[in-house]
Structure formats: structure tokens, C-alpha cells
Amino acid sequence: MHRHLLAAAILALFGTACSSIETSEYLERFFPIINGEPDTNPAHAAVVGMEAGDGGANGWMCSGTLIARRVVMVAAHCVNPEAGISAPPEHIVIKFGNSMFEGMVARTVSAVSVHPEWDSANIVNDIALLRLETDAPAGIEPIPYLPASERLTSSDVGLAIEFVGFGSTIPGGGGEGTKMHVTNDLSVICPGPSRCRQANPRTICTDMDPGGTCSGDSGGPGLVLRAGKEYVAGVTSYGDGYCAYMACSTKVDEFEDFILSFLGRRQGEACALDEDCETGVCGDGVCCESRCPLCHTCNQAGSLGTCQPVADEESCDDNTVCNGREVCRGGACQPGEPLSCQDSVACTKDRCDPLEGCVYAPVALECWDDNACTEDVCDPVQGCLHPPAPDGTSCGPGKSCRQGECSGGGSGCATAPGAGLCLLPLLGAAYRRRRRT
């Protein structure tokens, strides 16, 4: 992001909001390690890099977290860093991977929602949500946001919180682009709506011992464990401009209504489209945990929203009768009995139509008997038939068919036994072809 502009704003805020006693308290606890270690934990594949710009000369980077299949949570200032500067969806790219320099998988953004009470001048309500145009890469599991029911309270001061992001690894800025993580303990929890002595409303803060967040980590997660499950409890928001004394994050559990209004309906609730659902998947008319495999459904009484096997013998037909009717058994689709379309009739062309089944097309040319005074017919049951051609059918110059025989004269060819060869059969064949076409 605009590091110098934001740093100046943060320093101004820090200087006016904290007494000299509080400042010296942070100074005494300063340690220069801000980045921790590279983070290659597969569970943190949902922590993403973000590149954004306003379509003009301004561009910046942030971090973020995939909290649903198509929803990324970031800081509001990652989208709208200051008055008059904001990034539209078409100028935001989300990147999955561990390094912004190589191997990242990009996703474009279709929609942006910045908290309606975001105050860039005072860094309050610093949270935004992005909707991806397509699903996150396969195998990447979203990290859920910390719900209000699990909210952080004053009793959680001292709780371990793990920060992840692609930001600076050098105090004051520099070294951005690699996914890093560091664990610290919560020092301040300010639930709001009023400002606390050391923090803005609805934020949580830590000192920098042993490390913390810096420029470029903005929007990235502060992760906590509740009953062994990892949640996004904070969205990296602000700190001192030197990344030396303090770092504060938006307190996510205070913004559940805002998050749910963008995510959509919860698992098991009725839906029509994927975007209706918090999970990003609408299956069988309900918001589902994931895409269900064949012979499973999310819409079963007692297990709405969870993929469960359907009843045995339920159809899993592939809409072609040629390979038989497939049915579900034990949660798997069992193949049907393929149709045999061999009719043992030599003059038919046998094939299987996906909708009609076996089709036996008569092919009259297969029944040609070289006799101009017979009809050549392919019967789908009896095979080739040769009924007499109608009397009067031409069978050569000056000749016609009578009761299935060719008779007449005028050709100059002898018809008596022992007569010489006549070339008329070729001409007769030509006549026959003409008649048959």
C-alpha cells in the first residue's frame, strides 16, 4: 500500500492517542524481530497475497484470508487506503501461494464490500470483504472467522495469537513478498465502540516482543485457537510506522453481522445460487459444506448441509440408455446393463441412440440383386426382399418388365438362344441406377 502516507497517518494517530508513559512502555518492550519464520503450513494456504490499484498511478499490496470458498477478508484500507483513492474489483488480484515472486495462483475479484463505517482518517472499522469470481484452488480450506459466540474478552489478554502475512521483514519497511508468521500474546483487547487508552475501538493489539506485523501484512489474519479449532480473530490494521513498538488488528468478532450479510446463508439453510451461501456451495437446494459426490446429497432430514449417501436404488443415470440404467448402492453409482444392438440382419445398420435406444436403419443398397425387374427392399425383420417391379417398368431401350421379367425388343440384340453378346446390360444398369436414385 502507500507505505509512507499510511505510516505518517499511523504515527500521527499513535502520537496523539498515547501518553508518554504508554509510549515508553512500548519502547522498553521493543525487539527488532518482526517477521518470525517462513510459513509453509498447509492449513495456512488460505492466507493470500493481494495486489490492488486504483486504475491509475497508485498501486499497493496487502495480505488477506480466505474465509469461505469465494470470500476473502482484508482490511478496509487495503481497498480504500485514503479519501479519494480506492481499488475497484477489476483492479484487485488475489494470489494463493507462499511467495509473491513465484508459483502463485491468481484469482480475480467480482465484488467488494467495505464496512460502511470505515473511517480512513482515524483507522476505525478497518475491515472489508472480497468475492472471488471463481472458487479458490482445489485443496485449499478456508479459515473461518471468529464468531461472536466465541468472542475475545478481557479474560483473553495473554492468549497466544499467530500473525501471518506477506509484509515487511525489516523494521521500517522492506523484504516484502514471502509468507511469514510469528506468534505473540494479546496485550490489549478493545471491544468498542469507544476508544480504549491504548487502542482504537474494536481492535486487539500486541507489542512487538518477540515480533509482529508490518507494512504489507495489512489485511492478514491474527489466528487464535478455540477448542483446538483455528479462527481468524484479527485483521491486521495499524501500528507504529517503524514496526517497532505495537501492532493492532481489527477485532473480527465485533463484525459478524457485516460478515454474514456478505457471506450469505449458513450451512443447511435454503438457497438457489452458490453466492447465497456462506460456504460458497448451494447443493440440492440447501447451503452445503462442499460439492457432494455422485450418490450423495446435502438435503436429507437430520443432516442438512452435510453430504450423505442417498437411498439405494435411487437413479444416478447418465442420460443415455445405451449403457443401461445406473443406480446408487451404498453411496456409489453402480453401472447398468448395456444394450445389445445386434439384430443379425445383414442389410441393417445397427446403432444405439442415447435417447431412443437401439436403432436399426434399413440399407436397401445392401440388397441389390442385379435384376432391373425386381424391387430391392431391406426389411428390418426379414432382411432382403425382392418383390417384382411394377409391370411396365423400363428395363432397357424398348424393353419393360412383365411379371418380374424383362421383355420387348428394338435394341438390335438377338434374344434367341446362342445369340451373340449384347452390350445393353451396361445401358440397362444405367437405367436401373437412374430408377433407383
User: CA 127 from chain center: how many Å?
Assistant: 24
One digit per residue, the tens of pLDDT, for the chain of length 437 reads 333 333 333 333 333 232 222 333 322 222 222 547 889 999 999 999 999 999 998 999 999 999 988 899 999 999 999 999 999 999 999 999 999 888 899 999 999 999 999 999 999 999 999 999 888 999 999 999 999 999 999 999 999 999 999 976 666 556 678 899 999 999 999 998 899 988 999 999 999 888 888 877 899 999 999 999 999 999 999 988 778 888 999 999 999 999 988 988 888 999 998 878 877 789 999 999 889 999 999 999 999 999 999 999 999 888 888 888 889 999 999 988 888 888 888 888 888 988 888 888 888 788 888 888 998 889 888 889 999 999 988 888 889 998 888 988 644 443 434 433 344 433 333 333 333 33
Domain that holds residue 33: 3-256
* Number of independent structural domains in the chain: 1
Q: How many CA atoms lie within 13 A of 332 on its CB side?
A: 3
d(CA 395, CA 406): 6
| Domain membership flag for residue 195 | yes
Q: Model pTM greater than 0.85?
A: no
CA-based torsion, 113, 219, 281, 254: positive or negative: negative
Domain CATH for 73: 2.40.10.120
Number of Cβ within 10 Å of residue 4's Cβ equals 11
Indicate whether 34 belongs to any domain: yes
- Is 416 inside any structural domain? no
Look at residue 231 and tell me if it is in a domain.
Answer: yes
In this structure, is residue 108 part of a structural domain?
Answer: yes
Q: Is 434 within a domain?
A: no
Considering the domain boundaries, does residue 298 fall inside one?
no
* In a domain? residue 354: no
Measured CA distances, 116 to 10, 60, 255, 284 (Å): 21, 22, 11, 34
